């Protein structure tokens, strides 16, 4: 099952355009039908670190830090200076630990590459459950799984962010740099012990000019159905104050929740404190938000405005749920795209 997921298109006041742009895709949320395959694991590239390669307009670097591999992708402007830089840590859950535009960091930075998923930093890919699972129990048809609770009695943000992903050396097509990373859930693996369905998630990053595409593929390698959802969870740092920054979401309804778990009630947006989100609200006016909105309207890209730039987040129709998270004690925020509801 293949799908292109979600992304950003960024602009600044001086008219630059930069983005993580996710295009439309044919993707089925929920159960991926089984088609058992015996697939040999592809070996990791034989690389002498550091390694660098470049073409006109794009480059990549392979380095090691804290004993882990970092994949650095970048594009260049007409003067040869870095335009967009993206750093991925495949062995740390394929977390995107950095995105830079002309040297300005967009994401909250981890203090260490060890256990990045515990630090609210970078961009996490949430799979096979993108949000909270009530009582850490997943039930689907005859399948009944119990996860290890990691948020009180509940489970949150999936498993994929905790495991090392495999990767292939980046390559160029014209002035585009492309990088592929994946996670095979094989029988006997630690992931399989927690989620006993053989499957594979693959992510291709395509960086061209000021656009970054996340292209996902999920395969069910088991004889039983694969229930899953995918979430993209960026942690954006505030490059201004909460009064200077604003967020705009093209959504129509709020999913009512009790303790951040859905009650089953859908509330029209105009009846909530988020009524002005479609035209934009200051971050200070949504402080404390930890809410799920559904559905994302067709063509309903999110827009975040900072003092010196703005970025647009686009998603395919499969990412129908949008989460806005604005913690009151941290200078960061998140606009998350999910293919599934909380506790679904």
DSSP assignments along 108-144, one per residue: PPPS-STTGGGS--SEEEE-S--S-BGGGEEEETTEE
List 137's β-bridge partners, or say none. Answer: 146
Mean pLDDT of 259-273: 96
Alpha helix stretches (DSSP H) within the chain: 190-194
**Tens-digit pLDDT profile for residues 17-60:** 333 433 323 333 334 666 665 556 778 888 999 999 999 999 99
Distance CA 166, CA 183 (A): 6
DSSP assignments along 29-63, one per residue: -EEEPP-----PPPPPP--PSSEEEEETTEEEEEE
The CB density around residue 263, as the number of other CB atoms within 10 Å, is 11
Supply 57's token pair. Answer: 């307009």
**Per-residue pLDDT, 130:** 93
Domain 2-32+45-338, what fold?
Beta-galactosidase; Chain A, domain 5 (2.70.98)
**Per-residue pLDDT, 8:** 42
Q: Using CA of residue 126, residue 127, residue 130, residue 132, what is the dihedral sign?
A: negative
Least confident of 159-163, 264-268, 289-293, 318-322: 318-322
Distance CA 167, CA 94 (A): 9
Name the CA radius of gyration of the chain, rounded.
Answer: 19
Could you tell me how many residues make up the chain?
Answer: 344
Per-residue pLDDT at 88 exceeds 50: yes
Supply 146's token pair. Answer: 């119990």
> In terms of DSSP bridges, do strands 211-220 and 309-315 run parallel, antiparallel, or are they unpaired?
unpaired
Query: pTM for this structure?
Result: 0.90
The label of the residue with tokens 């506790």 reads: 343
Sort 213 into a burial class: Cβ within 10 Å, 0-12 / 13-18 / 19+.
buried
CA angle 181, 183, 187 (to 5 degrees): 155
More confident residue, 274 or 6: 274
Q: Using CA of residue 113, residue 117, residue 118, residue 123, what is the dihedral sign?
A: positive
Q: Please, which residues have CB within 8 angstroms of residue 221's CB and are 6 or more apart in sequence?
A: 35, 36, 37, 39, 185, 198, 199, 200
**Tens-digit pLDDT profile for residues 317-341:** 888 899 999 999 999 999 999 999 9
Per-residue pLDDT at 82 exceeds 50: yes
């Amino acid at each position: 099952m293949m799908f292109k997921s979600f992304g950003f298109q960024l602009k600044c006041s001086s008219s630059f355009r930069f983005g993580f742009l996710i295009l439309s895709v044919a993707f089925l949320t929920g159960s991926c039908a089984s088609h058992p395959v015996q697939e040999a694991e592809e070996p990791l590239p034989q690389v002498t670190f550091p390694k660098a390669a470049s073409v006109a307009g794009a480059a990549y670097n392979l380095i090691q830090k804290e004993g882990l591999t970092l994949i650095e992708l970048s594009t260049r402007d007409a003067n040869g200076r870095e335009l967009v830089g993206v750093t991925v840590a495949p062995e740390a859950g394929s977390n995107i630990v950095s995105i830079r535009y002309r040297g300005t960091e967009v994401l909250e930075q981890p203090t260490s590459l060890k256990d990045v998923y515990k630090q609210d930093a970078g961009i996490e890919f949430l799979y096979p459950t993108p949000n909270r699972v009530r009582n850490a129990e997943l039930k689907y048809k005859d399948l009944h799984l119990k996860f290890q609770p990691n948020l009180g009695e509940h489970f949150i943000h999936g498993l994929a962010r905790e495991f090392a992903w495999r990767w292939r050396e980046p390559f160029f097509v014209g002035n585009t740099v492309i990088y592929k990373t994946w996670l095979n859930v094989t029988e006997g693996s630690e992931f399989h012990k927690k989620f006993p369905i053989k499957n594979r998630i693959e992510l291709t990053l395509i960086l061209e000019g000021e656009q970054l595409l996340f292209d996902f593929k999920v395969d069910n390698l088991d004889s039983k159905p694969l229930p899953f959802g995918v979430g993209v969870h960026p942690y954006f740092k505030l490059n201004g104050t909460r009064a200077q920054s604003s967020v705009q979401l093209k959504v129509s309804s709020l999913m009512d929740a009790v303790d951040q778990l859905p009650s089953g009630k859908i509330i029209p947006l105009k009846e909530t404190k988020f009524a002005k989100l479609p035209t934009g609200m200051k971050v200070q006016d949504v402080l404390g938000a930890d809410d799920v909105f559904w559905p994302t309207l067709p063509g309903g890209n999110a827009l975040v405005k900072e003092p010196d730039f703005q970025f647009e987040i686009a998603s395919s129709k499969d990412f129908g749920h949008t989460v806005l998270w604005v913690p009151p004690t941290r200078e960061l925020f998140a606009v998350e795209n999910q293919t599934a509801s909380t506790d679904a």
